[in-house]
Structure 1
Amino acid sequence: MKVLIAQPVHEDGNSQLENEIKRNPDINMLLFPEGYLSCENKLAKTCSLAKENNKLIITSYRKENKNRAAIIDPKGNLILERAKTPPDEKEELITPLSVSYKNIEIGYLLCMEILKGIRDLKKVNKALNFIAHPIGVGMFSDEQFNLWIEEAKNIARTYKTMIIGTSHADGSYRNCGVSIPISYCIGSDGEPVYIAKSDTRTRILDLDTKEVTII
């Protein structure tokens, strides 16, 4: 199975998502960042897009100015939807943290939730084929970039699963003015399949062979 990993710029619609589907008809899944879908109307349109093109779409949408998890199956059904976990350290990850699709168990961490992954993914009592990690904007420092990659490596080793993350190409955390776009895939052994730092090109990952194509 092939997953397209995108680093779009923020937009009101979903034209970048639609264009990626048109340009790459042989892909099975698409991973887009946290908050790519700006509202519930855009989520509904994206469900229709998934059904029309028979694609599984992993992303996030905004509702009442808050980001929420979203995985849409190729029939246009929202098969995973939940709130984002509050950042307070005492708050455990909100479930569900995974969903089954065609005998594949897909884990899901939304942006800063990765910092709670080692502790709380034990709630998932199934083996994960991979974890999707939609990120809102790029990292605000090299230190944060390195920290999140190390967390991803530790999660991959601990739960023996691949983890794939991506951010928007633009924007910055709390409009601080600093942004290091990030896209990555860590294998189930904790070793990088690829790490993209300030390189916002779209990638296609073959989940079976681990081959990565830059487009």
Structure 2
Amino acid sequence: MNILIGQPKMEQNLEQLKLEIESNPTVDLILYPEGYCTYTQLDRVSELAIQFKTSIVLGYRDESNKDRVLIVNNKGETLLTRRKTPEDELLLMPSSATDGSEQYGYLLCREIFMGREGLKTHEHLSIIFNPIGVGMFSEEQFTEWSEEARKIAVERKAMIIGTSHADGSYRNCGVSIPIAYCFDENGEEVFLSKNDTRTRVLDTISKEVSILELSF
């Protein structure tokens, strides 16, 4: 499987997603960050998935401006949608979805710190996705986040992939370290990106990563 991992800038439309899917029509799946689009654009997301036969994983904002999960398969069907887990709650909602021979896990942003507990009963996961809203607010958070991802990969014996937006900052604190990462099922680093917002395409079989130079 070829997965495109994007780190788009925050925007009011789907221009970056459209450009990347049109420029890479042979990828099997696209991973974008938390809160990339709003509920008003979900029909267009499904249309793009159908048009390019590409599954799309991201996060979106609902009518109440709350963050929600989204996995759409290459037929435009919604495989998973749910609200973001409120702070200090365990993952009590469904956090996996099956698409053919693949079973995906999904941790939206800070849910990664509940992932080992929340995904404990989810067996046979092939890939776990972690869409993140904005980048890390410190070097310490960057290290903590990536190490937690590694632990989840080892415990669940599944590849885990995460990505944030290229811009924005946590609660407008003014500090943002964009992050994108992948650890394999043994916890080995496939890639770990800090302050490098270039798009990547990952071959999940060979674990080779191509870096794309696209201008937005």
Query: TM bucket by the smaller chain?
Result: over 0.9
In the alignment, is the contact (CA less than 8 A) between 1:141 and 1:179 conserved in 2? yes
CA distances 1:167-214 after superposition (whole Å, capped 9, x unpaired): 000000000000000000011111110000000000000011110000
In the alignment, is the contact (CA less than 8 A) between 2:3 and 2:30 conserved in 1? yes
Aligned equivalents of 1:120, 1:72: Cα separation in 2: 22
| 1:183 aligns to 2:176 (yes or no) | no
Aligned equivalents of 1:41, 1:62: Cα separation in 2: 9
- 1:95-110 equivalence runs, <5 A: 95-110=93-108
Q: 1:167 aligns with which of 164, 167, 175?
A: 164
Aligned to 2:80: 80
Q: Tell me, which stretches of 5 or more residues in structure 1 are unaligned?
A: none
Shift of 1:94: 3.6
Q: Tell me, which stretches of 5 or more residues in structure 2 are unaligned?
A: none
Aligned equivalents of 1:105, 1:55: Cα separation in 2: 16
Shift of 1:132: 0.6
Shift of 1:43: 1.4
Aligned equivalents of 1:115, 1:141: Cα separation in 2: 17
| 1:150 aligns to 2:141 (yes or no) | no
Q: 2:135 aligns with which of 114, 134, 138?
A: 138
Shift of 1:148: 0.5
Aligned to 1:7: 7
- 1:109-128 equivalence runs, <5 A: 109-124=107-122, 126-128=123-125
Structure 2 counterpart of 1:154, one-letter code: K
Structure 2 counterpart of 1:74, one-letter code: N
Measured on the aligned residues, the alpha-carbon RMSD in Å equals 0.8
- 1:18-57 equivalence runs, <5 A: 18-37=18-37, 39-57=38-56
Structure 2 counterpart of 1:206, one-letter code: D
4+ residue segments displaced more than 3 Å? none
Structure 2 counterpart of 1:26, one-letter code: T
In the alignment, is the contact (CA less than 8 A) between 2:182 and 2:189 conserved in 1? yes
CA distances 1:111-167 after superposition (whole Å, capped 9, x unpaired): 00000011221131x211010110000000000000000100100111111100000
Q: Percent of pairs identical after alignment?
A: 51
Structure 2 counterpart of 1:186, one-letter code: F
The count of residues paired between Structure 1 and Structure 2 equals 211
TM-score scaled by structure 2?
0.96
| Distance verdict in 2 for CA 1:98–1:15, change over 3 Å | same
